[in-house]
Amino acid sequence: MTAVQSPPPLTDLSRDDLVQWCAARGYPPYRADQIRRWVFEKRAGGFEEMHDLPRTLRTTLAAEMQLFSTRILRHQMARDRTEKLLLELPRGGQVESVLMREPRRRTICISTQVGCAMGCVFCASGLLGLERNLSKGEILEQVLHVARLLAPNERITNVVVMGIGEPLANLKALLPALGEMGETSGLGLGARRITISTVGLPDAIRELARCGKPYNLAVSLHASNDELRNRLVPVNRPIGIAAILAATDDYFQQTGRRITFEYVLLGGVNDQAQHARQLAALLADRNAHVNLIPINAVRELSFRPPSEPQTERFIELLSHQGVTVTVRKRKGADIDAACGQLRLAGGETSV
């Protein structure tokens, strides 16, 4: 018996695709813009809510497409109102998405892969290995699900591509998804409100620079020399820090965007004075920003965060050498906050 195929997700269609779909069914182009407005701006939960569309069009949409092909398995909210979703994907697998609230920002963190192949030894995201890349629609649906957690007077201000997976290993799906977010008929987010994180893949960094959009780039460095980085980030072995820095220099030259270097502080591992001095030397004469991240404790891993005085000493040494440095605020500390934790715990029903 032939398996019944599910309708394709609406999020796989660009505006032009949707215009063509409408035209093939006898509807003018403005109907495509109405549909997209309901999806991105009005945050409709289903086609039946799109009351300014003809009933026949709503019926056809429901029969031929899915608004959401992904399903919320679990929903957590922290005391600071950070919210985290575990989503089940139509082709199998689970990913996480996070809403972070600050006084003037509503930031969404999204995933790009089911699992991760980079092998960072302190990260929960890759403990189960890499299963597959996400599609454009699966990336976009994360944004739509999280946007529906917002109050009517709230809107998404920023997107960070820092969830599960290596974003630059899935540029084929990521760039079209980000393009949809930037469309005026999408979220209308400028490239400068979008940050893409990478473990540091030089060829892909240069490919990203050539896309013509000045996205913010954050490189997960985590070590100040190759010997240490080879242990913490195994994918570094055939690459090396020098090649990564050369690629980020090219990115800065092409986009004018200052590079952020993320550095997870691991107590007793990469948080010593010599590491701070080496890091400052690497970034000397570069327009760079260091974002220090004291590690979140993860049950499955043995690493611990540094003491507060040790963190302050690390900051002081970098600042003294002229490096711009900040410490990432901990969000959602009372839930499974680190990337991959909720997926490792498994999903039940929403809470």
Q: DSSP labels for 108-122?
A: EE---EEE-SS--TT
Candidates 22, 109, 123, 339; catalytic one: 339
22 an active-site residue?
no
Structure tokens at 269: 């591992």
Q: 183 near 15, Cβ under 8 Å?
A: yes
Per DSSP, the residues of 253-314 read HHH-PPEEEEEEE-TTTT-SHHHHHHHHHHHTTS-EEEEEEEPPP-TT----PPPHHHHHHH
Structure tokens belonging to residue 104? 């003037």
How close are the terminal C-alpha atoms of the chain, in Å?
38
For residue 219, give both structure tokens: 């490189």
Burial of 246 (0-12, 13-18, 19+ CB in 10 A): middle
348 catalytically annotated: no
Q: Which of 115, 117, 112, 170 is nearest to 141 (CA)?
A: 112
Active-site hit among 96, 141, 166, 180: 96
Known catalytic residues are: 96, 339
